[in-house]
């Protein structure tokens, strides 16, 4: 058995496409599998993935929010006594800058809004506002629900609370102005967690699953599923709390990044259509 055949066999057994191997990427068409929605009325589109790049990730980071901006990641971590916000170098995973939050707060999702970084907390109904560059606190805001994930579409904040709801907030007043309930063929999709607004859709981790759900922000309908089963790093497989969480998108270069809580790796992936 030659080496290429062996490698392909192993990748097939793992259920992975081979786009992380430059020598065979052309034949797999990984680079051509754009994230185009091909769903019909009967079923949402289902995607698998292939790995474009693998990066180190701080395995002490209980990732609750992940954002890409101008060549670096901004990340928010959780757990009481361990929560912080941080700026992370992509290639090395090194933490370039960080700021802890008080021990009584459990950090959750983050997003960048203009020159500020916004951070939710889990059950305190309180969000924190920081200067994006210095991480100096600039204020707080409140909301009536738990805080899980947050993103924005350029005009409004979008926030999850662990249910199937996504709330839309005025970014100036933080008032909830509207929202959607996420439903797939009549079934509520609960435990919506980390969020990312990507090309007119809301993408959400579904807590305790390997799935990212793609949501129509107007109707709340599910328009696609991304199944990331098999992505979790081998070194982290025994940690049941180390679940997939964290989606970041580099719009300029169309790069999609994902990781998980306490994961030792962070991945750039591309979607592979399954139906």
Angle at 154 between CA 151 and CA 157, to 5 degrees: 40
SS3 68: strand
Min dist CB 183 to Ca ion, Å, is 22
Decide: is 196 part of the binding site for Ca ion (CB under 5 A).
yes
Window 130-169: contact mask with Ca ion (x via CB under 5 A): ----------------------------------------
Taking CB atoms, the residue at the shortest distance from Ca ion is 196
Beta bridge partners of 80: none
Could you give the CA distance from residue 227 to residue 222 in angstroms, rounded to a whole number? 14
Could you give the CA distance from residue 127 to residue 109 in angstroms, rounded to a whole number? 10
Within 244-263, the residues that bind Ca ion by CB under 5 A are 247
Decide: is 201 part of the binding site for Ca ion (CB under 5 A).
no
What are the residue ranges of helices labelled H in the chain? 3-14, 22-28
Min dist CB 14 to Ca ion, Å, is 26
CB 264 within 8 A of CB 54: no
Window 65-104: contact mask with Ca ion (x via CB under 5 A): -x--------------------------------------
Window 175-194: contact mask with Ca ion (x via CB under 5 A): --------------------
Could you give the CA distance from residue 239 to residue 237 in angstroms, rounded to a whole number? 6
Min dist CB 21 to Ca ion, Å, is 28
* Binding footprint of Ca ion, residue count (CB under 5 A): 3
Say if residue 223 is exposed, middle or buried (CB neighbours under 10 Å; 0-12, 13-18, 19+). Answer: middle
Within 2-61, the residues that bind Ca ion by CB under 5 A are none
Give me the residues that bind Ca ion (CB under 5 A), please.
66, 196, 247
């Amino acid at each position: 058995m030659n080496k290429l055949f062996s490698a392909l066999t192993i990748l097939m057994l793992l259920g992975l496409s081979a786009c992380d191997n430059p020598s065979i990427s052309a034949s797999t068409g990984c680079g051509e599998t754009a994230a185009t929605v091909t769903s019909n009325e009967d079923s949402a589109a289902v995607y698998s993935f292939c790995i474009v790049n693998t990066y180190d990730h701080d395995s002490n980071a209980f990732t609750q929010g992940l954002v890409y901006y101008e060549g670096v990641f901004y990340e928010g971590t959780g757990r009481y006594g361990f929560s912080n916000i941080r700026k992370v170098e992509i290639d090395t995973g090194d933490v370039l800058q960080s700021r802890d939050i008080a021990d009584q707060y459990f950090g959750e999702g983050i997003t960048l809004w203009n020159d500020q970084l916004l951070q939710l907390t889990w059950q305190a109904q309180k969000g924190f506002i920081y200067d994006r560059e210095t991480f100096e606190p600039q204020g707080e805001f409140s909301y009536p629900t738990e805080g899980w994930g947050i993103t924005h579409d350029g005009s409004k904040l979008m926030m999850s609370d662990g249910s199937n709801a996504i709330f839309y907030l005025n970014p100036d007043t933080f008032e909830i102005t509207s929202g959607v309930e996420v439903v797939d063929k009549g079934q509520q999709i609960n435990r919506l967690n980390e969020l990312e607004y990507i090309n007119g859709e809301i993408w959400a981790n579904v807590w305790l699953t390997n799935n990212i759900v793609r949501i129509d922000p107007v109707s709340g309908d599910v328009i696609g599923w991304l199944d990331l089963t098999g992505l979790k790093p081998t070194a982290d497989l025994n940690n049941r709390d180390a679940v997939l969480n964290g989606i970041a998108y580099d719009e300029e270069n169309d790069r999609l990044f994902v990781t998980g809580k306490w994961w030792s790796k962070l991945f750039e992936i591309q979607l592979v259509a399954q139906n």
